Chains A and B, each alone.
Chain A
Amino acid sequence: MNNMIPLILGMAAVTYVPRLLPFLFLSNKRIHKRLDAFLKCIPAVAIGALIIPGVFTATPDMPMAALSGMIFTLIAGLWRGGIIIPVLGSVAVTYLVLFCAA
Chain B
Amino acid sequence: MNAFKAGIPIFIGYVPAAIAFGILAKGCSITLMECFLFSAAVFAGASQFIALNLLMTGMGPAGIILTTLLVNFRHFLMSAYLSTRIDKFAKKYLFLIAFGVTDEVFSVLSFQKGQLSKSFILIVQFAAYSAWVSGSMAGFILGGFLPELLTKSMGVALYSLLLAIILPEVKKSFKILLLVIASGLLNTILIKLDFLPNGWTIIVCILVISFAGSFFITQNSHQEESL
Contacts and interface: CB of A to CB of B under 8 A. Distances in A.
Say whether A and B bind each other. yes
Interface of A: 1, 4-12, 14-16, 18-28, 31, 34, 36-55, 58-59, 65-66, 69-70, 72-74, 76-78, 81-84, 86-88, 90-92, 94-95, 98-99, 102
B36 to A, nearest CB: 10
B198 interface: no
Contacts of B69: 14-15, 18
Contacts of A98: 149, 152-153
Interface in B154-175: 154-157, 159-169, 171
B136 interface: no
B76 interface: yes
A42 to B, nearest CB: 4
Interface of B: 1, 5-6, 8-9, 12, 28-31, 34, 37-38, 41-44, 47-48, 51, 55, 61, 64-66, 68-69, 72-84, 86, 91, 94-95, 97-99, 101, 103, 106-107, 110-111, 149-150, 152-157, 159-169, 171, 176, 179-188, 191, 201-202, 205-206, 209-211, 213-215, 217, 221, 223-224
A51 B163 contact: yes
A47 B165 CA distance: 9
B151 to A, nearest CB: 10
Given A15-B72, A27-B86, A58-B155, A70 B79 contact: no
A42 B77 contact: yes
Contacts of B161: 83, 87
B41 A19 contact: no
A25 to B, nearest CB: 8
The residue among B12, B29, B167 with the most chain A CB atoms within 10 A of its own CB is B167
A47 to B, nearest CB: 5
Nearest to B101: A19
Given A34-B214, A91-B12, A45 B30 contact: no
Given A8-B42, A46-B107, A48-B184, A37 B214 contact: yes
A7 B52 CA distance: 11
Contacts of A83: 1, 5-6, 8-9, 161, 164-165
Nearest to B28: A1
B83 A15 contact: no
Nearest to B221: A40
A16 B44 CA distance: 10
A45 B107 contact: no
A101 to B, nearest CB: 10
B40 to A, nearest CB: 9
B156 A41 contact: no
Contacts of B224: 40
Nearest to A97: B153
A28 B184 CA distance: 32
15 contacts: A7-B51, A8-B38, A8-B41, A12-B41, A15-B42, A18-B69, A40-B217, A46-B78, A46-B103, A50-B103, A51-B159, A59-B153, A86-B163, A87-B12, A88-B9
